[in-house]
Amino acid sequence: MLIPRSFLHKINGIGNNKQPTPKFITSSSKMPIWHRRPTRTLMARKQLKVLHALDVATTQLYHFTAIMIAGMGFFTDAYDLFSISLVTDLLGRIYYHDGVLPVSVSALVNGVALCGTVLGQLLFGWLGDKVGRRHIYGVTLKLMVVCSLASGLSFHRSPQSVIATLCLFRFWLGIGIGGDYPLSATIMAEYANKKTRGAFIAAVFAMQGLGNLAAGIVAIIVSRAFKHAHGYDDDPHWHADYVWRIILMLGSVPAVLTYYWRMKMPETARFTALIAKNIKQAASDMTLVLNIDIADEHEELADVLTREYEFGFFTMEFLRRHGLHLLSTTVCWFMLDVSFYQLNLFMKDIFRDIDWIGNGSTMSPLEQTYKIAQREALIAIVGTLPGFFFAIKLMDKMGRIKMQLLGFTMMSVFMLVLAIPQVLCNGIWNSRYGHIYFVVMYSAIMFFINFGPNSTSFIIPAEIFPARLRSTCHGISGAGGKCGAIIGVLWFLYAKRSLPTTLFVLVGCNILGMVFTFLLPETKKRSLEEVTGERGDDVEQRGLFSIVRTPMFTV
C-alpha cells in the first residue's frame, strides 16, 4: 500500500507551512525495518504451505528413517573419535621402547582429528548453505569411510613414520567428521515438526553414545580374539599390531551401510523453498517422503520470497539480529568441550591414576587394552547412554535452555563432590570403596553432560539462525567447541595438574557456560521461521527477553 510522504513528514514533526506536492513511497523504501508491516516478501512466506505442513506433520516412518540415516553418521563419528583413546597405550607399547607414547606424540594422536574437525565444520557448514545439505552430505561420509580404512592401514618402516601416517589420515578423518555435525543437525531440524523437533535432533546426536559404547565393545572382542599375545618383554608386533588396526578400520562399517540411503534423501524443503526458491520442487519432495498432500504454491512467490531479508553473514543486520546468538552458542559449546573431551579421551589415564586398571607392566598389551575398554564401556552404559535417553525424553518438555542450565549446574556439583574429598583426604580414590565412589560420581558427571549441554549445544544452533545461514552458523558454533576440546587435550597433557585441580578449572568453565546460556532464546515447540524471524514477525530474541517492535504504520 502507498503512504503519502507529506503524512510521514507531518507526524514526524518535520512538516512546514508549505504543503509539499504529495509523493508516495512504498513500504520497501529505506526506513527502519521495525517501522513497517511485513511486505509482500513476508506475506508470501506466510503462505508457504509446505513449511507449515512440515511444522504440523505427525510423526511418520520417514522421520525415524531420517534419524537412523543421520544418526549412523554420528555413530561413526563417535566411534572414530573415541576409539583412538582405547589404543594409544597399545601404540606406545608396540612402537616405543619404554612402552609409553611421548607427551608430544600423545597430544598429536589424540588431538589431530579434532583439528580436522574444526576445519570440516567450518568448510562443510558453509558449503551446506551454498550448495545444499544433501549434495555435501555424501562427501563427508566418503571421507569418513576412506580415512577410517586408511588409518588402520598406516604403515612405514619406522615407528615414527607409522604414527605420522596415522595422524595424517586421522586429520582428514576429522574433516569428514566435522562436516557431519552441521549437516546432520540442519537436515534433521528442517525435516522435523515443531512439536518433537528437539527430541528428533537429540536422537540423532544420541547415536554418539552408542558409537562410544560400540568402540569399547569392539575393543573388548578384538583384544580377546588375540588373547594369546606375547608378554611385555617379548615382541608384541605379530599379534598386538593387528588389534589397533582392526579396531580403527571397523569404524568404516556403519558409514558404508548407510551411504546408499543418505544419497537417496531429498533436499530439505526449507533449503529448496527458502534458498533455492523452488517451491514447487519442495512441495513435491515433501509430498513423497511425508505421505501428505501439499498443494503447489504460485510460482511467482519464489521470485519475491526472502528477497527483503537476504542479509549476508558479514553484515550489520546479521550482527544486530544474531551476533549475540552466535557468540553464545560458540562459547557454550567451547566450555562444554573443554570438559567433555578431557573426561572422555583421557578416561584411561584417570582410571590408571586411581589404580582401577592395574599395573600395565605386569600384563600383556592386549590385556591392558581389554581392561581399558571394559571400564570405558561401563561408564558409557551407566552414565552416557542414560543421559542421552532422558535428553530425548524430556527435550521438548523441559526446553533447551532449562536443560542446558541444569546440566552445567549438576556437572559442577558432581565435579566438586568428586574433587573435594580427594583434596581433604589424599588417596581416598585409591581405596576399594574409593573406586566405587569415584565411578558413581564420574558416571553422574557423564550423565549430566549428555542430559544437558552436550545435547543442547548441538540442537540450539540448528534452530535459531535463518535457513540460508543455518549450516554455516552451526559449523562455526561446533568449530568453537572443538577448539575447546583441543585446549582441553593440551591442558591435560602439558599442564600436569592433579585431577582435583583440573576438576576445579572445569567447574569454572561450566559457570561461564551457564552465563552465556542466559543469552540464548528458547525454541521449544516453535517453528524455525518463527524463531529466526523469517515468518514475518519482527521479533528480536535476546535470551530470556523478547523485544517485540510494533510497526508504526499500517501498510
Indicate the residue type of 353.
Answer: D
> Which pLDDT score is estimated for 269?
86
> Which pLDDT score is estimated for 309?
60
Determine the Cα–Cα distance for residues 123 and 140; give it in Å rounded to an integer: 11
Please report the beta strands in 2-128, taking only residues with DSSP state E, as ranges in sequence order: 3-4, 24-25
Q: Which three cell numbers stand for residue 43?
A: 506475506
pLDDT tens digits, 13-62: 444 444 444 443 343 444 443 344 444 454 444 446 777 778 888 888 88
Could you give the angle at which helices 133-152 and 237-249 cross, rounded to 10 degrees?
180
Whether the per-residue pLDDT at 249 is higher than 70: the answer is: yes
Among 233-242, 452-461, 529-538, the range with the most confident prediction by mean pLDDT is 452-461
pLDDT range class, residue 535, cuts 50, 70, 90:
low
pLDDT tens digits, 66-79: 999 999 999 999 99
pLDDT tens digits, 105-149: 999 999 999 999 999 999 999 999 999 998 899 899 999 999 999
Determine the Cα–Cα distance for residues 536 and 555; give it in Å rounded to an integer: 14
Whether the per-residue pLDDT at 153 is higher than 50: the answer is: yes
pLDDT range class, residue 350, cuts 50, 70, 90:
confident
Q: Which three cell numbers stand for residue 540?
A: 528480536
Q: Which three cell numbers stand for residue 97?
A: 621402547
- Strand 545-548 and strand 539-542: the pairing is antiparallel
Determine the Cα–Cα distance for residues 58 and 195; give it in Å rounded to an integer: 9
So where are the chain's domains? 3-31, 46-548
- Of 98 and 259, the structure prediction assigns the larger pLDDT to 259
| Listed range (19-28, 241-250, 288-297, 387-396) with the worst mean pLDDT | 19-28
**445 in Cβ contact with 294 (< 8 Å):** no
Percent of the chain with pLDDT over 70: 81
**34 in Cβ contact with 540 (< 8 Å):** no
Q: What SS3 state is found at 307?
A: coil
Whether the per-residue pLDDT at 271 is higher than 80: the answer is: yes
SS3 string, 475-527, reads HHHHHHHHHHHHHHHHHHHHCCCCHHHHHHHHHHHHHHHHHHHCCCCCCCCCC
**75 in Cβ contact with 139 (< 8 Å):** no
**457 in Cβ contact with 404 (< 8 Å):** yes
- Of 354 and 382, the structure prediction assigns the larger pLDDT to 382
> Which pLDDT score is estimated for 10?
41
pLDDT range class, residue 279, cuts 50, 70, 90:
confident
Determine the Cα–Cα distance for residues 262 and 179; give it in Å rounded to an integer: 14
| Listed range (43-52, 104-113, 155-164, 529-538) with the worst mean pLDDT | 43-52
Q: What is the rounded (10 degree) CA torsion for 340, 342, 343, 347? A: 140
Q: What SS3 state is found at 153?
A: coil
DSSP state of 548: E
Q: What is the sign of the dihedral through the CA atoms of 399, 405, 407 and 409? A: negative
Length of the chain: 555
User: To which residue does cell 527458502 refer?
Assistant: 274
**pLDDT average, residue stretch 496-508:** 89
> Which pLDDT score is estimated for 539?
44
pLDDT tens digits, 372-414: 999 999 999 999 999 999 999 999 999 999 999 999 999 999 9
Determine the Cα–Cα distance for residues 226 and 395; give it in Å rounded to an integer: 43
> Which pLDDT score is estimated for 1?
44
- Of 518 and 229, the structure prediction assigns the larger pLDDT to 518
**296 in Cβ contact with 33 (< 8 Å):** no
**pLDDT average, residue stretch 247-257:** 93
Whether the per-residue pLDDT at 444 is higher than 60: the answer is: yes
Whether the per-residue pLDDT at 102 is higher than 60: the answer is: yes
Q: Distances in Å between the alpha carbon of 89 and those of 40, 170, 248, 344? A: 63, 17, 14, 15
| Listed range (45-49, 271-275, 308-312, 541-545) with the worst mean pLDDT | 541-545
Indicate the residue type of 64.
Answer: F
Domain 46-548 = CATH 1.20.1250.20: yes
> φ, ψ for residue 548 (rounded to 5)?
-100, 120
- Strand 24-25 and strand 539-542: the pairing is unpaired
Whether the per-residue pLDDT at 538 is higher than 70: the answer is: no
> Which pLDDT score is estimated for 37?
43
Q: What is the mean pLDDT of the chain?
A: 83
Determine the Cα–Cα distance for residues 21 and 194; give it in Å rounded to an integer: 50
> Which pLDDT score is estimated for 549?
37
Q: Note the helical H segments in 131-196.
A: 133-152, 159-191
